[in-house]
Amino acid sequence: MNALPVRTEAEQALGFDLPHRRMEEWRWTDLRQLVDRPYPPRQKEVAAAGDVERLLASSLFRNVAATRMVFVNGEYDAAHSRMANGWVESRIPMEDPLVRLNTSFATDGARLKFEGNTDTPVELVFIATDAAPRMLATHNVIEVADNSSATLIETHLGAGTYLSSSITEIRVGHGARLDRVKSEIEAPGATHLAHADVTLAHSATLRDFTLTTGARVNRQNGTYRFAGEYADARVSGAYLLAGRQHADTRLVVDHQLANCVSRELFKCVLGEQARGIFQGKVIVRPGAQKTDGKQSSHALLLSGTAEFDAKPELEIYADDVACGHGATAGELNHDHLFYLKSRGIPEAEAKALLIAAFAGEAFETIHHDGLREALTAFAAHWLTQHRRAS
Amino acid sequence: MNLLDIKNLHVKLEDEDREILRGLTLSVKPGEVHAIMGPNGSGKSTLSYVLSGREGYEVTEGSVTFKGEDLLEMAPEMRAAKGVFLAFQYPIEIPGVATMQFLKVALNAQRKARGEKELSTPDFMRLVKDRAAKLNVTQDMLKRPVNVGFSGGEKKRAEILQMAVLEPSLCILDETDSGLDIDALRVVADGVNALRSPDRAMIVITHYQRLLDYIVPDFVHVLSAGRIVKSGDKGLARELEAKGYAEFSKDAA
């Protein structure tokens, strides 16, 4: 007797059913409501002169020595890129609605295989220039060969109102290491829907950090699978949100095999009417003994109207494991504030220091000094300079 | 001119009716060291918080004038920039904020508020290194987050280091001797004594006379039930040590 709901305007334009709150994983992020206008799939667009340069300059990592690959409005932009694209086959499962949405429309994306030890970070920059509301979809596939290492930066930014759909598929080889730093600094009118699908081979190491601060609506999924033993994945993130921003991260860490380590740490700063959500699921499959999996999420609420929801889930089918989770939400500590002010630090600066200190814990897993420093500086100035008006 | 004039100060907690300070009057001139002694609950810490501007207290009567201006009207950071410094009884731990960064932000914020030029990083480093060495504050402590993982003695030394770097004109030391063994006490007292100068005044709040063997005051006041009930010279501290506060606690009842 379940009548199919009538498609929203946005769904009609996409020709696609969006996930909604009656689906458990989407209970806080009802895209049928949040995607509140049609975003027709991208038309071929030419960016206005100077637009790309101006937007490129807003990357947090503009001063970090990096090799850049630039995608403008969903397409590789040779003029602003410092490296050529390659080809790596996609193997992503099609179960997730965001993955299906993306693969229906993806126009381009980085396809890179890293071999050997790459010292200079590679920054992928995804730019949406100001134009009519539309959807832009990119699909990256990144492979780090056995015993190789690389540092990958993903920057998502733009101007105007648009929906940005992004998939990053990652395979980290035997004994290999990937350091990934993603910054979502999209335009205030943007909707950012992303999915990271990561597979780690035997003895692989992953350090994955995501800054979430730009878009009006953000949903980021991450799936982390251990396909070999003795792999180690640390997934961390920071939210710096204000106005009516909404960000929801859902991670699934799947311990299929024994002797792997996973850590998730999210620090969420939420001001005004912002809403932050963290959903973390850890699965320990039968036989995945000696699994060491822990997750925690912490929110700093800067106003009485900000909201934080956390949903930790543990599914454990092995008996010799160390797993745990924790979530907290609180406001700025008044004793800390008074101590700083009593030393002459004005209120706004004192708050900024404490916010940066709170978020900073999530930066600690970032190995690259320049990247960590750029994020620290951004967090320190966020309250006074970058915060969006509602 | 007096540096600080407290006149008939009445203070209560914002959410309680009971008065904690009940007509406290005290004048401090530049260069003077005043000790305020008193039993627990006499209002010693309240006085230090009200002078430094902590929230949660309500002044119901009286005035506090500092350098000729109404101190109670100023925000805590403005009081600090004008020269008020409170060395906390329990220094606050602030995870994630490095001690060096904290000191630099504080010093430059104060300089900016006073219309002075900010200190360059090399000049600042030289200043802190010089002051830290005298207080046995190690480089390792300076790299750590503010007071995090510091022992009791380290915390008190760090407070005095902040004082030495910020160079206030009124230092309020709240139970600086609490939790210190005799060696740590000596280091802290030496640090404080090094900061005594003709244009800097100190209010030393303490329960015990012991600290006053090392930081010798010009005046000693007994605080009981929210007001100063007796004043004298350093001899009064010895008298109190011998007799205890019993004589004054009748007053409190």
Query: Could you give the domains of chain B?
Result: 4-252 (3.40.50.300)
Could you say which residues of chain A have pLDDT below 70? 1-4, 386-390
Cβ contact A338–B113 (<8 Å) = no
| CA of B174 vs chain A CAs: smallest distance (Å) | 14
Q: Inform me whether the C-beta atom of residue A373 falls under 8 Å from chain B C-beta atoms.
A: no
Would you say A387 and A271 are in contact if contact means Cβ atoms under 8 Å apart? Answer: yes
End-to-end CA distance of chain B: 36
- DSSP conformation class of B71: G
Here the tokens at position A296 are 């925690």
Q: Inform me whether the C-beta atom of residue B110 falls under 8 Å from chain A C-beta atoms.
A: yes
Residues in chain A within 8 Å Cβ distance of B128: none
Q: Inform me whether the C-beta atom of residue B160 falls under 8 Å from chain A C-beta atoms.
A: no
Query: pLDDT (tens digit, 9 = 90+) per residue, B7-39?
Result: 999 999 999 989 999 999 999 999 999 999 998
Here the tokens at position B20 are 């904690």
Here the tokens at position A320 are 């010799």
DSSP bridge pairs for A200: A172, A226
Mean pLDDT per 10-residue segment, chain B (253 residues): 96 93 97 94 94 96 97 97 96 94 96 96 95 89 94 93 97 92 90 95 92 95 94 90 79 46
Say what the pLDDT of residue B111 is. 97
Q: How many whole angstroms separate alpha carbon A123 and alpha carbon A125?
A: 6
**Nearest residue of chain A to residue B109 (CA atoms):** A345
The residues near A88 (Cβ < 8 Å, ≥ 6 apart) are A111, A112, A113, A141, A142, A143
Query: pLDDT (tens digit, 9 = 90+) per residue, A190-205?
Result: 999 999 999 999 999 9
Q: How many whole angstroms separate alpha carbon A194 and alpha carbon A138?
A: 10
**Which of the residues A343, A354, A364, A381 would you substitute to probe the B interface, choosing the one with the greatest number of B C-beta atoms within 10 Å?**
A343
**B129-B131-B133-B136 Cα dihedral, nearest 10 degrees:** -130
Longest dimension (CA), chain A: 67
Here the tokens at position A330 are 């609180």
Q: Inform me whether the C-beta atom of residue A346 falls under 8 Å from chain B C-beta atoms.
A: yes
| CA of B80 vs chain A CAs: smallest distance (Å) | 5
Would you say A148 and A115 are in contact if contact means Cβ atoms under 8 Å apart? Answer: yes
Would you say A38 and A13 are in contact if contact means Cβ atoms under 8 Å apart? Answer: yes
Say what the pLDDT of residue A390 is. 36
Q: Which amino acid belongs to residue A162?
A: Y
Cβ contact B102–A353 (<8 Å) = yes
How many structural domains are present in chain A?
1
Cβ contact A342–B86 (<8 Å) = yes
Q: Would you say how long chain A is, in residues? A: 390
**Nearest residue of chain A to residue B96 (CA atoms):** A357
Q: Inform me whether the C-beta atom of residue B145 falls under 8 Å from chain A C-beta atoms.
A: yes
| CA of A101 vs chain B CAs: smallest distance (Å) | 40
Task: Tell me, yes or no, whether A349 lies in a domain.
Answer: no
Would you say A126 and A153 are in contact if contact means Cβ atoms under 8 Å apart? Answer: no
Q: How many whole angstroms separate alpha carbon A275 and alpha carbon A238?
A: 13
The chain-wide mean pLDDT, for chain B, equals 93
- Nearest by CB to residue B113, choosing from A339, A340, A344, is A344
Query: pLDDT (tens digit, 9 = 90+) per residue, B197-207?
Result: 999 999 999 98
Domain around A83 = 50-333
Cβ contact B92–A336 (<8 Å) = yes
Give me the long-range contacts of A333-337 (CB less than 8 A, separation at least 24). A334/B55, A335/B92, A336/B92, A336/B94
Please identify which residue in the block is written with the tokens 């950090």: A209
Q: Inform me whether the C-beta atom of residue B122 falls under 8 Å from chain A C-beta atoms.
A: no
Task: Tell me, yes or no, whether A95 lies in a domain.
Answer: yes
Here the tokens at position A126 are 């995804």
Q: Are strands B219-224 and B201-206 parallel, antiparallel or unpaired?
A: unpaired
Say what the pLDDT of residue B250 is. 57
Distances from the Cα of A20 to the Cαs of A7, A30, A158, A247, in angstroms?
A: 12, 4, 26, 15
B238 in the Ramachandran plot: left (φ > 0), alpha (ψ -120 to 50) or beta?
A: alpha
Q: How many whole angstroms separate alpha carbon B230 and alpha carbon B224?
A: 9
Task: Tell me, yes or no, whether A20 lies in a domain.
Answer: no
Cβ contact B145–A357 (<8 Å) = yes
Report the candidate in A69, A96, A355, A137 with the shortest Cα–Cα distance to residue A238.
A355
Q: Inform me whether the C-beta atom of residue B74 falls under 8 Å from chain A C-beta atoms.
A: no
Longest dimension (CA), chain B: 56
Task: Tell me, yes or no, whether A341 lies in a domain.
Answer: no
Residues in chain B within 8 Å Cβ distance of A361: 95-96
Q: Inform me whether the C-beta atom of residue B4 falls under 8 Å from chain A C-beta atoms.
A: no
Say what the pLDDT of residue B205 is. 96
Residues in chain B within 8 Å Cβ distance of A343: 80, 85, 102, 106, 110, 162, 166
